[in-house]
Structure 1
Amino acid sequence: MRVSKEELVAVLAQFNPWWRGESIADLPRWRRAAFRELHTWLAAPPAPRAVMLSGARQIGKTTLMLQAAEALLGAGVPAANILYATFDHPILKLAGIDAVLDAWREREPRAEGPEYLLLDEAQFIRDWGTWVKHQVDFRKDRRIAFTGSAMPLVEAAPESGVGRWHTIRLTTLSFYEYLQIKRLQLPELPKLRSLRDLFDWAPADFYRATELGQDYVGHFHEYLLRGGFPQTAQVDSVTQAQRLLREDIIDKVLKRDMTALFGVRRVLDLEHTFLYLCLHDGGLLDMVDLCSNLEVKRPTAQHFIELLEATHLIYRLAPYGYGKDVLRARFKIYLADAAIAPAVMLKGKAILEDAAALGVATETAVFKHLFARYYAQNVRFSYWRGKREHEVDLVAEVGGELIPFEVKYRAQHTGARELKGLIELCQAKRIARGYVVTKALDDFGPMQGLPLAEDADVPTRIMRVPAPLLCYWMGAAEQSASETSGAGA
């Protein structure tokens, strides 16, 4: 559709205040861990590629793009050579990318040096994959970063994307980032480069961390209720935070994005599918039960689940293993954030009084933190089920090594009797170390007296780590890894 250049210029001028010599209003000083990676790919690209920020709605992708623009301006890049445009805006969506670039250059003649194109919600650009491919291949004078709230950005044209863009996948805020964005002043916990370092601690170190961690527990529970979304983290009340989260998910993702991006017409059935998954967060997906309860056919339900994963609302974990057994097995479902289920199901603060619901929320948060910390290292996550039906919640395959995590978020201290699955897995696979995520701060430290496999050369070491501390350290390690080089679990 034809849009006048005057209209386009007026819209672009609003989005690019630096063209008028003005600063970016209300831009947070604090930066997420992903900022450094994004800035590197724009300022000094390791390879001739565009960079894609992929993640759910309302997790800070736009803020990261504007912070990158601010950093480029601070480094001396001419204002005229930086364009920010969001294709969620109806005028820009109607006009198309080529008309937007023409209007930019009519408003701001090019200065010397590379051009920087910061394109928000790029899934609304017509034939976006072909366009980006062409830009990367033939416009070496341009550096492009683009965002998307849906995986069609990756899947619509995979052959175009190979070698053309580098993906930075954003999760919701880590517990560490949540504390930073709220500017809370808490006792500083000991720094950990890796959870492996805990095995070298002395008893006094565990006691000190337990004492310092007391102030973190209440904030961790509120984090589980509010969620890791910058907007919900900063509003006054938990009730208001959950209302905003519910509106963003139900109204904007399920009802708008699913129709606009995927052509979904049976929105009510899709919403019911998502509500079913909210009720079964952290559990094994029973497709027969889902289809029976919701009265939908299996291919339809399967399609809906794939769409929910595409819009970053859920994660799917396969069981540990390879081949046909895995293909036939049931997936484990985690929501993208622990606060989604209580917000969508209108549970409010009730999960704090429900031990089972609080345990599920904690397990979801633990997985999200581990995923955020290690996804860039091509870590494979799965769950494990043994021949005796014993299970392990999470198994990370890091550099050929299996590292299991079992979440036991309950009042009782954890003993070997509660860890039959973890012990069975460690014996069967000769695993060197594993972790149990606990609730009580004094349920912390190495476990003693575990049964060993008969032919084990070295005993398996199991470390109990309270969930608030583990999530804090995982988030802090992610931040540190963005500045230096990260370490494993």
Structure 2
Amino acid sequence: MVFDKNILLGRIVDDNTWWQDRKIPFYDEFSKRRYYDGFYELVSQKFPHRAVVLMGPRRIGKTVIMYQAIQDLIDSGVDPKRIFYFSLDTPIYTNLALEDLVNDGRSINEVSLEGAYIFFDEIQYLKDWEIHLKSLVDRNRKTKFIASGSAAAALRMKSIESGAGRFTDYFLPPLTFAEYVDLNGYDNLLTETEVDFAGPRRFFQCSNIEVFNNHFVDYINFGGFPEIALNSDKVKNPERVIQKDITDKVIMKDLPGLFGIENTLELQQFFNVLSYRTGEILDYKKVSQETKTDNKTIKKYIKYLEAAFLVKVLHRVDLSAKRFKNITQFKVYLTNPSLFTGLFGRVADSDERFPHLVETAVYAQYLHREHEFLRYANWKVGKDEGEVDLIQVSNNFQEVRWAVEVKWSDNPKAGKLKKFMLKNNLPKGVITSKTKFEDYDDLLIVPNSIYAYVVSKNALDKLDKEII
């Protein structure tokens, strides 16, 4: 269908209101995430000449930080008429080449592209987007291009294949627990302390762990999505928002479009099973029986769900932290425990599934650290068997750097963890609890809520140092 050119140009003008007002209307309504500064540094960076590809799941603030970047560019002195924004899920833009959109926008303002900033939101809706974007980058050496997309892994794979040297990927994770606490002002419950675990780390203690745990429970249910987490009193039926606007759209729209999936109902049912089993050890036989799918389809669907950033697979090592030649079991985590709420409803801390969601929430704080080799340990040697929930190994699998056992209890048992530590010459381990905080020479017992905050807080502090 060919739209009237005036309708197209009118839509572009409507979407770029700062050309006249020099202001994003809702700019002041949204707090900046801690990941914003790193993104804006790439946006404002002149060299090397690369497009910025902002990646992450749905509804975690990608469009918001693009608008925030536009406002900061204007405030820094960039001509508003040289800043263009196109949301490629807009029906009137369907099947239009990126270059045609840019030329249409430029013609309205009668400006050159030199020194311009071009924002493409939801770029995955354009077929072969990476080829179009690469061409624009190559032919416009003095123009900055910024794109966003929801299917993170798929975008990364395509950018590596077709955009080598032209694209810089920037990952925006779901709202971390440290962001959730700090942005809501709950950090007044915390005081900084020190523990010695895998080298000195910034740790915190809590003046009222019961209240802090209540915030942790709320985070598990709704905290991964900024719009809900920071406006909980204004959002009606948050469970429905998560289901309809996030999981359903990804399963029914994004993935079929990216991978040509026809049986979306089967994929939805498969995702439901994995979601319910988040944090559990699974094997292909068990998953095949529960989902009535073969191993080839299981692997394919997991790849799709990882591409859409709905799940993350964690691989297994043995008691000596060595990999298995034949992969028969694995763990699958929801990338955000709030996704469970969208599918199955709000979960109380007394629910039988809640410990698995606690483990999911702890793991989620590590998602931005993809370069680290995270695994879980599981072994059975004769009558001796055990598991450690989360470990970090060196990239050659010759050294275990730390190990964590996640428990939702104030009487956690550390026997299996200590066996793993002894086998791998690990001087100190961590076991999480509900409210207990005790620091021994070989073991740190720390509440899950504190540990989740510490992991994400230290990561954000490290991010700030990298920006500086």
On whether the aligned pair clears a TM of 0.5, the verdict is yes
Name the structure 1 match of 2:13: 13
CA contact (8 A) 1:362 1:467 kept: yes
CA shift, 1:185, in A, is 5.2
Alignment pair present for 1:316 and 2:313: yes
Deviates more, 1:211-220 or 1:305-314: 211-220
| TM-aligned CA distance change 1:112 to 1:402, over 3 Å | same
1:446 — aligned with what? Answer: 439
Identify, as 1 or 2, the structure richer in helix. Answer: 1
From 427, 437, 457, the equivalent of 1:476 is 457
Structure 2 counterpart of 1:483, which letter?
A: D
Distance in 1 between the 2:186 and 2:286 partners? 47
Alignment correspondent of 1:266: 263
Cα 1:34–1:325, aligned 2, differ >3 Å: closer, same or farther?
A: same
Q: Which residue of 1 aligns with 2:24?
A: 24
Map Cα deviations across residues 316-365 of structure 1 (whole Å, 9 max, x no partner). Answer: 0111379972552422100011122233023x24x3222x4221111101
Give the alignment's TM-score, normalised by structure 2: 0.89
Q: CA RMSD in A?
A: 2.7
CA distance in 2, matches of 1:126, 1:278: 30
Question: How many angstroms apart in 2 are the aligned matches of 1:95 and 1:111?
Answer: 20
CA contact (8 A) 1:193 1:477 kept: no
Q: Does 1:429 align with 2:424?
A: yes
CA 1:227–1:211 in structure 2 vs 1: closer, same or farther (change >3 Å)? Answer: closer
Q: Name 1:173's counterpart in structure 2.
A: 175
The residue number in structure 2 matching 1:383 is 376
Change (3 A) 1:29 1:344: closer
1:39-54 aligned within 5 A: 39-45=40-46, 47-54=48-55
Q: May I ask how many residue pairs the two structures share in their alignment?
A: 456
> Structure 1 259/194 Cα, relative in aligned 2: closer, same or farther at 3 Å?
farther
* DSSP 3-state at the match of 2:165: coil
Shift in alpha-carbon separation, 1:179–1:111, aligned structure 2, 3 A: farther
SS of match in other structure, 1:393:
strand
CA distance in 2, matches of 1:353, 1:382: 28
Look up the equivalent residue of 2:404 and give its one-letter code.
F
Which residue type is aligned with residue 450 of structure 2?
Answer: L
CA distance 1:200–1:146, change in 2 (3 Å): closer
CA distance 1:164–1:196, change in 2 (3 Å): farther
Please tell me whether the aligned partners of residues 392 and 406 of structure 1 are also in contact (alpha carbons under 8 angstroms).
yes
After TM superposition, give the deviation of residue 245 of structure 1 in Å.
0.6
Aligned counterparts of 2:145 and 2:194: Cα–Cα separation in 1: 33
Offset, 1:186: 5.1
Structure 2 match to 1:371? 367
Whichever residue aligns with residue 288 of structure 2, its letter is: C
Distance 1:275 1:66 in 2: 34
How many percent of aligned residue pairs carry the same amino acid?
25
Aligned position for 1:345: 344
Larger mean CA deviation between 332-341 and 19-28 belongs to: 19-28
Q: How does 1:166-245 map to 2 (within 5 A)?
A: 166-181=168-183, 183-184=184-185, 187-191=188-192, 196=197, 209-233=205-229, 234-236=231-233, 240-245=237-242
Cα distance in 2 for partners of 1:479, 1:324 equals: 31
For 1:434 and 1:135, how far apart are their aligned partners in 2?
Answer: 51
- Name the structure 2 match of 1:336: 335
Separation of aligned partners in 2, 1:469 and 1:422: 20
CA distance in structure 1 between the aligned counterparts of 2:3 and 2:195, rounded to whole angstroms: 54
More strand by share: 2
Per-residue CA deviation, residues 220-260 of structure 1 (Å, 9 max, x unaligned), is 11111113101222233887111111112342111121222
Report the Cα distance in structure 2 between the residues aligned to 1:255 and 1:226, rounded to whole angstroms.
22
Give the corresponding residue for 2:154: 152
1:366–1:200 Cα change, 3 Å:
closer
Deviation of 1:157 after TM superposition, in Å, equals 5.6
Deviation per CA, 1:192-221, whole angstroms, max 9, x where unpaired?
7997499689xxx98xx2325453221111
Q: Distance in 2 between matches of 1:129 and 1:466?
A: 44
How far the C-alpha of 1:180 sits from its partner, in A, is 4.1
Alignment partner of 2:288: what SS?
helix
Shift of 1:409: 1.3
1:397 and 1:72, CA in 2 relative to 1: closer, same or farther beyond 3 A? farther
CA–CA distance in structure 1, aligned partners of residues 155 and 85 of structure 2: 18
Distance 1:265 1:6, change over 3 A: same
SS of alignment partner, residue 408 of structure 1: coil
Which whole-Å deviations, capped at 9, do the CAs of 1:421-470 have from their partners, x for residues lacking one?
A: 32122112212432222211xx113235xxxxxxxxxxxx3222211112
Paired residue secondary structure (2:367)? helix
Q: Secondary structure at the match of 1:483?
A: helix
When residues 324 and 413 of structure 1 are mapped into structure 2, their CA distance, relative to the original with a 3 A threshold, is: closer
After superposition, the Cα gap between the structure-2 partners of 1:318 and 1:200, relative to the gap in structure 1 and judged at 3 Å, is closer
| Residue pair 1:187, 1:215 contacting (<8 A) in 2 also | no
Structure 1 counterpart SS, 2:360: helix
Residues 87 and 119 in structure 1, CA contact (< 8 A), matched pair in contact too: yes
Q: Any stretches of 5+ residues in structure 2 without a counterpart?
A: none
Give the C-alpha shift of residue 398 in structure 1: 6.2
Shift of 1:100: 0.7
Task: Tell me by how many angstroms 1:32 deviates.
Answer: 1.0
**1:121 corresponds to 2:143:** no
Distance, in Å, in 2 between the alignment partners of 1:135 and 1:254 is 31
Q: Which residue of 1 aligns with 2:357?
A: 361
Structure 1: which amino acid aligns with 2:356?
V
Question: Per-residue CA shift, 1:128-164, capped at 9, x if unaligned?
Answer: 1222222333422121221111132122363223222
The worse-fitting range, judged by mean Cα deviation, of 63-72 and 390-399 is: 390-399
The correspondence of residues 245-264 of structure 1 with structure 2, limited to 5 A, is 245-264=242-261
Q: Structure 1 length as normaliser, TM-score? A: 0.85
In structure 2, C-alpha distance between the alignment counterparts of 1:424 and 1:335, rounded to whole Å:
28
Partner AA of 1:478 in structure 2: A
Matches within 5 A, 1:48-67: 48-67=49-68
Question: Residues 34 and 326 from structure 1, CA distance in 2 versus in 1: closer, same or farther, beyond 3 angstroms?
Answer: farther
Question: CA separation in 2, counterparts of 1:200 and 1:128?
Answer: 42
- Cα deviation for residue 383 of structure 1 reads 0.7
Match of 2:411?
A: 413
Residues 1:295 and 2:303 aligned together: no
Secondary structure of the residue that 1:328 maps to in structure 2? coil
Structure 2 contact 190–206 (Cα < 8 Å) conserved: no
Which of 301, 306, 310 aligns to 2:303? It is 306
